[in-house]
Amino acid sequence: MNRLQNLAVLGATGSIGRSTLDVAARHPQRFRIFALSANERIDELGELCLRHQPRYAVVAQAVQADVLRQRLQPGVTEILIGQQGLERIAAHAQTDCVMAAIVGAAGLVPTLAAARAGKKLLLANKEALVMAGPIFMEAVRAHHAILLPIDSEHNAVFQCLPDSFSGNLGGHGVRRVLLTASGGPFRETALSQLQSVTPDEACAHPNWVMGRKISVDSATMMNKALEIIEAHWLFGATPEQIEVVIHPQSVVHSMVEYADGSVIAQLGNPDMRTPIAHALAYPERIEAGVDSLDLFRVGRLDFAAPDFSRFPALRLGYRALREGGSSPATLNAANEVAVAGFLERRLPFLAITAVIEAVMNALPPRAIASLDDVLEADAAARRCAQLQTEAVAAEQ
């Protein structure tokens, strides 16, 4: 009989967090919601706490804690604050499984805390690996954490690899990893029109329901650039072993090609509850609430090579991976600042990748030996990106 697992959801009010809670609620005999966190959506967090009765809830600021406290039953849920609160629930002795679903660099420290505590770690926060890949993976190995990818692409690759996979692609007969990408909402938009697209247009993904930042990353394909770097650390893949394939239907979530010419793919409806359920119950399989894939309705599956002139973010992702050191952290930080500028309507769409490239050119890669090195690189890139953003905005 399966032991009840205590689940901590970092980023409970986001799309991944909500999907995680949906899957867990279908299996109350397997999962107990032990801790939840949210950054801004305190009303939603309050509703989740009343529904799931977690032992802990984490908010960003003391004023939010006061608001949340008024909504909850006394003595049921303890409210923690800020980064220390996140680290506490991630590494808590009674936490069995951590869903790391905080968007962006903010999720790095608590996700690393979970790895260092040897937890079963469901990684939806790709930035933790992008920014601090060598440090993060060393923590996973040293503390015997169980790392399971939640991004649909990396989860698909994981499912297509042999059960005995130990990080050596060639040693397991793997030729390359094929990461699929929908191409986002602007896959066929005329290049001349991209300069004037709006945040709402960029966030209207044709297949997936996601937060605004991740939706913009999909529109620029920076999400795929980050996933290239993530695939390197998760699977030991070189840049030459990672290929991006445009697949508009988002039915094939990724593929693995073997030395004998076989290509194994993972297919399913575009619903994040599938990879979440896979990771939650691994190595078993559980019901996720996802409809069966109707291949007759899908009808056809299309594949195309990506256009690097349309999506320069892909080129920057490969560049950051090849440069190594602080370059991936610089890429990620500059992207977060530039996307925020676009969402605030201070930057045009095409300026997002232009700002990122300018920051990468201005800040040569440095060696990364510690978390402090990562955080320093992140801060330097944010300062530089802010200056670049202000310069572009002033010209508008």
**194 and 128 assigned to the same domain:** no
In a domain, 35, yes or no: yes
DSSP bridge partners of 97: 7, 120
Host domain of residue 234:
164-269+302-395
pLDDT (tens digit, 9 = 90+) per residue, 20-72?
A: 999 999 999 999 999 999 998 999 999 999 999 999 999 999 999 999 999 99
pLDDT band, residue 209 (cuts 50/70/90):
low
Find the mean pLDDT for residues 282-288: 97
**227 and 179 assigned to the same domain:** yes
Rounded distance, CA 207 to CA 211, Å? 13
In a domain, 185, yes or no: yes
pLDDT band, residue 205 (cuts 50/70/90):
low
**The predicted structure's pLDDT at residue 193:** 87
In a domain, 284, yes or no: no
3-state secondary structure of 57: strand
**261 and 215 assigned to the same domain:** yes
**Among 123, 149, 175, which residue terminates a domain?**
149
pLDDT (tens digit, 9 = 90+) per residue, 308-333?
A: 999 999 999 999 999 999 999 999 99
3-state secondary structure of 395: helix
Two tokens, residue 289: 């609430």
**234 and 362 assigned to the same domain:** yes
Which residue bears the tokens 């952290």?
A: 329
In a domain, 232, yes or no: yes
**Among 109, 124, 149, which residue terminates a domain?**
149
197-211, 233-247, 378-392, range with the lowest pLDDT: 197-211
**237 and 114 assigned to the same domain:** no
* CATH number of the domain that residue 216 is part of: 1.10.1740.10
**The predicted structure's pLDDT at residue 361:** 98
Question: pLDDT > 90: what percent of the chain?
Answer: 85
In one-letter notation, the amino acid at residue 370 is: S
User: Which residues are within 8 A (CB) of 202 and not within 5 positions of it... i.e. 6 or more apart?
Assistant: 185, 186, 215, 216, 219, 342, 349
**Among 89, 123, 149, which residue terminates a domain?**
149
Looking at the structure of the chain, the number of domains it has is 2
Torsion of the alpha carbons at 55, 61, 66 and 70, rounded to the nearest 10: -50
In a domain, 288, yes or no: no
pLDDT band, residue 245 (cuts 50/70/90):
very high
Closest among 239, 264, 238 to 253, alpha carbons compared: 264
**54 and 123 assigned to the same domain:** yes
**192 and 97 assigned to the same domain:** no
**145 and 174 assigned to the same domain:** no
Q: What is the DSSP string of 362-394?
A: HS------SHHHHHHHHHHHHHHHHHHHHHHHH
pLDDT (tens digit, 9 = 90+) per residue, 105-125?
A: 889 999 999 999 999 999 998
The H or E element containing residue 360 is helix 351-362
Rounded distance, CA 157 to CA 228, Å? 12
Rounded distance, CA 47 to CA 361, Å? 46
Rounded distance, CA 119 to CA 122, Å? 9
Find the mean pLDDT for residues 116-140: 95
**12 and 82 assigned to the same domain:** yes
* CATH number of the domain that residue 121 is part of: 3.40.50.720
DSSP 287: -
**The predicted structure's pLDDT at residue 105:** 82
**132 and 184 assigned to the same domain:** no
**180 and 67 assigned to the same domain:** no
In a domain, 45, yes or no: yes
In a domain, 286, yes or no: no
**The predicted structure's pLDDT at residue 203:** 86
**The predicted structure's pLDDT at residue 189:** 87
- In a 13 Å sphere around the CA of 88, the CA atoms on its Cβ side amount to 16
In a domain, 281, yes or no: no
**384 and 310 assigned to the same domain:** yes
